[in-house]
Structure 1
Amino acid sequence: MNKNAVLLPTFNEAATISRIVSDLSGLKIDVFVIDDASPDGTADIVKNLGLSHVHVIDHGKKAGIGPAYVFAMQMAIKGGYDKIATMDADGSHLVDDLAVMLDLGPEIDVVMGSRWIPGGLVTNWSNGRKILSKFGTWYARKCLGLPYKDLTGGLRVYGKHALESINFSQISSNGYCFQIEMIKSLHAHGSIIKEVPIHFIERQGGVSKMSKAIVLEAFSRVSLWGVQRMLGIYADKLHYVK
């Protein structure tokens, strides 16, 4: 067993998953593919690779990225990994960026890959998609009082102790709002969080999972959390922390 793990949630990523797993093989890291019952055979493709450091978790149903990560993070904590990374399985994130993030010192609890800080780069996204992403982070920052420039990105490295502090039973976002909810709770807990620039590339195959329902979930939840923050409800943190 390696000391670090990377979690790859998948749904219909047959076009890219083999290359992503192959690219990750250059790192000393265990790979966990959490598959939401992909009908395109994503899980079987990974299993057939026969790699001892690569593991498939059949999630059994299409529950969303949030539940997939919650399940896998709790499993990785029990597995004793020092650092637990998250990464998209569609080719949007570069293994070289992940390697840099993993090398940062243990004094940092969470490393966030950021597209929107100096040095960050986004390739093959339309202006509309860039505006939506930037607006989402701007709105969440204003509502939640957070200082980070990219709250919705999926390339992150969590220290074991940071994740151990989370009460996962209270993390309830299904879609990409999960990324905001995690940073919201860890920031409130006092975790040391650092953003580093990354190169984000539009998916290399398959179909985007972004939908109106996912956007609506993020907008409604962030708005609710903002109102709760204004009224002092939950004090931003207590129900998230063990």
Structure 2
Amino acid sequence: MTGPAAPGPVLVVVPTYEEVGNLAAVLDRLHAAVPTAHALVVDDASPDGTGELADARAAADERVHVLHRTAKAGLGPAYVAGFRWAEQHGYGVVVEMDADGSHPPERLPALLAALADADLVLGSRYVPGGEVLDWPPHRLALSRLGNLYTRWALRLPLADATGGFRAARMELVRRLPFDTVASQGYCFQVDWAWRAVRAGARVVEVPIAFSERTVGRSKMSGSIVGEALVRVTWWGILDRLADRLPGRVTRPVPARARDGRRPRVLR
């Protein structure tokens, strides 16, 4: 990977489905925090008018762009579509951010600053300085246990591999085989963080305060949790088999970076 050179213009990819009550405020906060950033709203044919609102914002602000998809196809494919759009339009940095207001755009400058010496920066709830606000105890326990299990199963030295607020250099995105990513829900975040670490990427975790949405309903479901559990377990099995039978399994590569570096935490 290259050194700490300026990675280029920033595109924030914001997947949406029925977020008409949140999108305008999220875009306002984003541009207040980083006025030069562009936003790509990837809308999955929301029936509530989210796509139309995004179009109106794009017509009024050259920093806002819209990618319409014909059906609700999942978080992972929406992000992959956004990454491809960013690559085609010459952006040097791609950012993931939810449309529900749970990710604080005010922390985006910290994530971008950390890219000066990193390839992938995770906005982390579970490193010192990070926190989760307004979640019920069972939801917080599920998230923490999910991250602990992911860390153990994949031997992945990240505190918050499931988090969806992150920034990456486009050169890293180009290197990773996103065309083979099949994960739909938040398991997509685990999948590509693991791919990045296995590829030897420089990964940094920056603390954020994650807050529960105040408008609309969460997209989390039992099927999303089930997908993550099954996929992470299977990947972990393959990863361990690869240690014993090198060359016999196509998926796994040791989860830690080849040079032994571990991801860092920036305050």
> TM tier, shorter chain?
over 0.9
Tell me if 1:16 matches 2:26. Answer: no
Give runs of ≥4 in structure 1 deviating > 3 Å: none
Question: How far, CA to CA, are the matches of 1:6 and 1:80 in structure 2?
Answer: 13
The equivalent residue for 1:71 is 81
Deviations 1:62-109, CA, capped at 9 Å, x for gaps: 000000001111111222211110001001011111121112243300
The equivalent residue for 1:162 is 172
Tell me if 1:117 matches 2:133. Answer: no
SS at match of 2:148: helix
Deviations 1:25-72, CA, capped at 9 Å, x for gaps: 221111000001111010111211221110111011100000000111
Aligned residues: 237
Q: Confirm or deny: 8 A CA contact 2:115 2:121 kept in the other structure.
A: no
- The unaligned stretches of length 5 or more in structure 1 are none
From 55, 60, 72, the equivalent of 1:47 is 55
Tell me if 1:171 matches 2:181. Answer: yes
Quote the RMSD (CA, aligned, Å): 1.3
Q: Confirm or deny: 8 A CA contact 1:36 1:61 kept in the other structure.
A: yes
The equivalent residue for 2:3 is none
Deviations 1:98-134, CA, capped at 9 Å, x for gaps: 1211122433000000001110011100111111001
The equivalent residue for 2:45 is 37
Question: How far, CA to CA, are the matches of 1:204 and 1:54 in structure 2?
Answer: 23
From 250, 257, 265, the equivalent of 1:234 is 250
Aligned partner letter, 1:24? L
- The unaligned stretches of length 5 or more in structure 2 are 1-7, 243-248, 255-267
SS at match of 1:55: strand
Question: How far, CA to CA, are the matches of 2:114 and 2:127 in structure 1?
Answer: 18
Which of the pair has more CA radius of gyration? 2
The equivalent residue for 1:7 is 13
Q: Confirm or deny: 8 A CA contact 2:239 2:253 kept in the other structure.
A: no
Question: How far, CA to CA, are the matches of 1:59 and 1:69 in structure 2?
Answer: 12
Q: Confirm or deny: 8 A CA contact 2:94 2:167 kept in the other structure.
A: yes
Shift of 1:235: 5.8
Question: How far, CA to CA, are the matches of 1:114 and 1:104 in structure 2?
Answer: 13
Question: How far, CA to CA, are the matches of 2:69 and 2:251 in structure 1?
Answer: 33
Q: Confirm or deny: 8 A CA contact 2:87 2:170 kept in the other structure.
A: yes
Aligned 1:50-129 pairs, distance under 5 A: 50-129=60-139
Aligned partner letter, 2:210? F
SS at match of 1:13: coil
Q: Confirm or deny: 8 A CA contact 1:185 1:236 kept in the other structure.
A: no
Identity rate, percent: 38
Aligned partner letter, 2:217? V
| Length-normalised TM-score, structure 2 | 0.86
Q: Confirm or deny: 8 A CA contact 2:114 2:204 kept in the other structure.
A: no
Question: How far, CA to CA, are the matches of 2:197 and 2:251 in structure 1?
Answer: 12
Sort the Cα spacing of 1:178 and 1:105 in 2 relative to 1 into closer, same or farther, 3 A: closer
Sort the Cα spacing of 1:105 and 1:176 in 2 relative to 1 into closer, same or farther, 3 A: closer
